[in-house]
């Protein structure tokens, strides 16, 4: 069982419902769970009218399935799979155009540190792993020659690669994008309190005990342990770690690639970002991975987000906006403590 699924099975979604307090008696709470994006997704929400709540939750599930059907690499008939196979996609779904526009903006503003066309690097490392080895430098360079976000043209009528042999992955942004979309959908249907777990987290209002949603930031080096407990302030939370999909036992080579080198960034083990947009938070975890610990604080300020980052030795730091959202115990013991807990924020398998 994948690590994220194991934690869900062992700990349960109820672990995400926060701290002490009385639940509002006027609200009815329900949740939906489904398989998607290679993991188990959850939507938990409340409303005084059971019919309104059920219809909103059902609409959220449909939205998740629709977005996955467009952006999945698992599904051979998805819009993204067809784009990768054919090199172009006519009359693309509006949501696919939207997410690629967001991705392009992040790529532009990060000088290419985030790039959805890194899929060729994944394929090179995956093929070598099947042979029990790492790819040669020649193989990496050949794959990197097919990586360039500027060579992916996106319009409402046509998406195409300018360079033959390119392919894209949205695994570094799609879960955050889906969380954004479902949260907005729930709000449009009158839902004021919800937690969307689409692989990245989008909170709305408070939990069933009228308290801020409390999420855990997982320790990338210990099963079932937390680096920190984080009280939500309404922003989306995304996490990336080097421990989830690896190509070498020492975790030096993993699923996050530096588009400029073709290899994984070597300094960090995990990055968590809090941003008003789940898609931006999701994408920036990769940007900050590439930047390394020396630059995360400055970049977080430039992007107007907050971040927590963990180096390979397990030491962690956080920007002030996240430090003040940590539990009192953890604020008193900065920079680093380990905490066992029954909640976690983890990125799903990126395939």
pLDDT in tens, 16-70: 444 333 354 479 999 999 999 988 999 999 999 999 999 999 999 999 999 999 9
If you search the block for the tokens 């342990």, which residue do you land on? Answer: 225
Cis peptide, bond prior to residue 98, ω within 30 of zero: no
Q: What is the pLDDT of residue 224?
A: 75
Are 301 and 322 a contacting pair, CB within 8 Å?
Answer: no
Handedness of CA 21, 22, 27, 29 (dihedral sign): positive
Q: What torsion, rounded to 10 degrees, do the Cα atoms 88, 93, 96, 97 define? A: 80
* Bridge partners of residue 279, in order along the sequence: none
Please tell me the distance from the alpha carbon of residue 115 to that of residue 107, in angstroms, as a whole number: 6
Please tell me the distance from the alpha carbon of residue 16 to that of residue 103, in angstroms, as a whole number: 29
Type and span of the H or E element at 35: strand 28-36
Please tell me the distance from the alpha carbon of residue 300 to that of residue 105, in angstroms, as a whole number: 16
Angle at 262 between CA 261 and CA 263, to 5 degrees: 90
Please tell me the distance from the alpha carbon of residue 228 to that of residue 217, in angstroms, as a whole number: 5
Please tell me the distance from the alpha carbon of residue 293 to that of residue 337, in angstroms, as a whole number: 18
For residue 246, give the DSSP letter.
B
Q: Going edge to edge, which strands form the sheet with 214-218?
A: 214-218, 225-231, 339-340
For residue 313, what are its two tokens? 């030795």
Q: What is the pLDDT of residue 73?
A: 94
CATH topology of domain 1-6+25-351: T-fold (3.10.520)
Q: What is the pLDDT of residue 218?
A: 84
Q: What is the pLDDT of residue 14?
A: 42
pLDDT per residue over 186-208, tens digit each?
Answer: 999 999 999 999 999 999 999 99
How many C-beta neighbours within 10 Å does residue 254 have?
23
Averages of pLDDT over runs of 10 residues in the chain (351 residues) are: 36 39 67 93 96 98 97 95 98 98 98 98 97 97 98 98 97 97 98 96 93 88 82 95 89 95 96 98 98 97 97 94 73 42 35 31
């Amino acid at each position: 069982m994948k690590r994220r699924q194991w934690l869900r099975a062992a700990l349960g979604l109820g672990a995400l419902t926060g701290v002490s307090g009385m639940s509002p008696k006027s609200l009815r709470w329900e949740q939906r769970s489904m398989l998607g994006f290679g993991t188990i997704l959850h939507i938990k929400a409340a409303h005084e009218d059971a019919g309104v709540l059920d219809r909103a939750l059902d609409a959220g599930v449909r939205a998740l399935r629709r977005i996955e059907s467009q952006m999945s690499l698992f599904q051979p008939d998805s819009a993204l799979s067809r784009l990768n196979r054919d090199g172009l996609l006519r009359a693309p779904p509006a949501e696919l155009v939207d997410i690629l526009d967001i991705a392009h903006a992040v790529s532009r503003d990060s000088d290419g540190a985030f790039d959805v066309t890194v899929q060729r690097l994944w394929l090179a490392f995956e093929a070598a792993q099947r042979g029990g080895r790492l790819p040669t430098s020649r193989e990496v360079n050949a794959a990197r020659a097919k990586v360039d976000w500027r060579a992916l043209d996106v319009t409402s009528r046509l998406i195409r690669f300018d360079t033959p042999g390119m392919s894209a992955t949205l695994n570094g942004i799609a879960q955050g994008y889906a969380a954004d979309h479902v949260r907005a959908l729930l709000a449009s249907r009158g839902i004021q309190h919800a937690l969307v777990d689409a692989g990245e987290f989008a909170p709305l209002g408070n939990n069933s005990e009228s308290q801020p949603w409390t999420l855990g930031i997982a320790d990338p080096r210990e099963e079932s342990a937390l680096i920190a407990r984080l009280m939500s302030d309404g922003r989306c939370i995304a996490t990336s770690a080097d421990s989830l999909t690896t190509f070498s036992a020492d975790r030096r080579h993993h699923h996050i690639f530096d588009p400029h080198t073709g290899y994984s960034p070597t300094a960090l083990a995990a990055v968590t970002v809090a941003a008003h947009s789940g898609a931006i938070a999701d994408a920036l975890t990769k940007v900050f991975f590439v930047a390394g610990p020396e630059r995360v604080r400055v970049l977080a300020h430039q992007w107007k987000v907050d971040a927590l980052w963990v180096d390979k030795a397990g030491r962690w730091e956080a920007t002030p906006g996240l430090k003040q959202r940590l539990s009192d115990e953890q604020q008193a013991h900065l920079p680093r403590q380990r905490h066992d807990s029954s909640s976690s924020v983890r990125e799903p398998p990126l395939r």
